[in-house]
């Protein structure tokens, strides 16, 4: 998923609801110790370290090595990756894979179960068919979509935890970890920061943000993208420390054909882009892997089912924005979130 969040240098105490002053500045590279950027699954990862006495070059090397390792395992573009080997052997035989890939797939099945398939990594064939965000994007035929739908079924993934093997039971099935691998990569980078005793940093992976630690014992302030603006403006501010903030929206990747807009969040039920009056879903969680998977799933599930799910999960919150600029939030959001644009209306 590709999202836009705006990170401000300014920070405030927990529960602060004051507006950001008009003259408040954005975070800039020359104001912070910059480590990166790195590239991961067609996204740019930017890691900024605020510790004064830390060896940022050593940390940079460690992060670069880890990010490259994860991408080599989980990309679909390398025929030697774990994901490519699993897909190549669909319907044939199990494939022994790295423990990290196994963990991500195992976690993916958990999200599939709790979202009743709204999140399903076996969408690989469907995603490839539409090609949204690539030079091959197009509107598929009904026959093509129906074929892809017949290959989507997370229950057809067989895991062997003892041997760390994965088997797709039907030939032609394809897994795609694009909806979760970015989150896992951000979590791994957070672990690298902790291993190097970094106390204050920001990870920005294609717009998905993780704030590591705090700034002088105060929260970072993260601006949530106004989904109706193409200028990077924000509609609200979320105060956070040691949190992942991930947004999925229909404005991220799309194309138009014959006056119809087709966005990249595809329904596992009918094979077309989800249509439910939502514009964006933001997930706030302790782990980025949760936010990455759940932001897409909640978008597909809609307001009522999405809020019900999040309100029954520990350490997960959500902010949902509709086409009418209505904002729906989970139970614990308003202790840390402020709507900063009065054209948006809180509905619950």
Give the per-residue pLDDT at 75.
Answer: 94
Return the HEC string of the chain: CCCCEEEEEEEECCCCCCCCCCCCCECCHHHCEEEEEEEECCEEEEEEECCCCCCHHHHHHHHHHHHHHHHHHHCCCCCCCHHHHHHHCCCCCCEECCHHHHHHHHHHHHHHHHCCCCCCHHHHHHHHHHCCCCCCCCCCCHHHHHHHHHCCCHHHEEEECCCCEEEECCCCCCCCHHHCHHHHHHHHHHHHHHHCCCCEEEEEECCEEEEEECECCEEEEEEEECCCCCCCCEEEEEEECCEEEEEEECCCCEEEECCEEEECCECCCCCCECCCCEEEEEEEECCHHHHHHHHHHHHHHCHHHHHHHHCCCCCEEEEEEECCCEEEECCCHHHCEEECCCCCEECC
pLDDT at residue 255, as a whole number: 82
**Regions of the chain with pLDDT less than 70:** 1-38, 231
Compute the distance between CA of residue 308 and CA of residue 313 in angstroms, rounded to an integer.
Answer: 9
> How much is the pLDDT for 134?
87
pLDDT at site 253: 82
The string over 169-192, giving b where at least 16 C-beta atoms fall within 10 Å of a residue's C-beta and e elsewhere, is eeeebbbbbbbbbbbbbbbbbbeb
CA pseudo-torsion sign 270, 272, 275, 278: positive
- The span from the CA of 199 to the CA of 201, in Å, is 7
Tell me the pLDDT tens digit for each residue of 145-154. Answer: 999 999 999 9
- What residues contact residue 5 under an 8 Å CB cut-off, 6+ apart? 204, 207, 208, 209, 222, 223, 224, 225, 245, 247
What is the pLDDT, as a whole number, of residue 231?
A: 67
Question: Tens digit of pLDDT for each residue in 227-246?
Answer: 998 767 899 999 999 999 99
Q: Are 279 and 324 in contact (CB under 8 A)?
A: no
CB neighbour list of residue 142: distance below 8 Å, 6 or more residues apart: none
Residue for token digits 């509609």?
235
Topology adopted by domain 74-179: T-fold (1.10.3980)
Residue 163, token pair as written in the block: 């041997």
Listed by start position, the domains of the chain span 74-179
Question: Taking the model in full, what pTM does it have?
Answer: 0.89
Q: What is the pLDDT of residue 277?
A: 94
């Amino acid at each position: 998923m590709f999202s836009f969040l705006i990170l401000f240098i300014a920070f405030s105490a927990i529960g602060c609801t004051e507006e950001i002053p008009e003259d408040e500045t954005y975070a800039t590279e020359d104001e912070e110790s910059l480590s990166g950027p790195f590239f991961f699954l067609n996204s740019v990862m930017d890691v900024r370290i605020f510790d004064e006495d830390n060896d940022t070059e050593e940390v940079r090397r460690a992060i670069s090595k880890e990010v490259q390792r994860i991408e080599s395992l989980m990309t679909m573009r390398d025929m030697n990756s774990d994901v490519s080997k699993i897909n190549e052997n669909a319907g044939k035989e199990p494939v022994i894979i790295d423990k990290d890939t196994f963990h991500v797939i195992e976690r993916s099945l958990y999200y599939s179960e709790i979202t009743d398939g709204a999140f399903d990594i076996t969408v690989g064939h469907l995603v490839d068919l539409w090609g949204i965000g690539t030079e091959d994007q197009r509107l598929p035929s009904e026959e093509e979509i129906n074929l892809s739908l017949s290959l989507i079924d997370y229950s057809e993934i067989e895991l062997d935890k003892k041997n760390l093997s994965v088997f797709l039971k039907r030939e032609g099935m394809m897994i795609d970890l694009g909806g979760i691998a970015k989150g896992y990569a951000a979590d791994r980078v957070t672990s690298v920061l902790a291993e190097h005793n970094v106390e204050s940093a920001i990870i920005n992976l294609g717009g998905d943000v993780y704030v590591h630690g705090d700034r002088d014992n105060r929260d970072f302030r993260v601006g949530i993208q106004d989904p109706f603006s193409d200028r990077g403006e924000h509609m609200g501010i979320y105060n956070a420390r040691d949190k992942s903030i991930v947004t999925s929206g229909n404005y991220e990747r799309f194309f138009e054909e014959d006056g119809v807009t087709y966005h990249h969040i595809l329904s596992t039920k009918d094979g077309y882009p989800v249509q439910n009056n939502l514009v964006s879903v933001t997930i706030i969680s302790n782990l980025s892997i949760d936010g990455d998977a759940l932001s897409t799933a909640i978008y597909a599930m809609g307001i009522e089912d999405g809020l019900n799910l999040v309100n029954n999960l520990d350490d997960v919150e959500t902010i949902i924005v509709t086409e009418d600029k209505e904002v729906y939030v989970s139970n614990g959001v308003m202790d840390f979130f402020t709507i900063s644009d009065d054209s948006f209306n809180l509905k619950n």
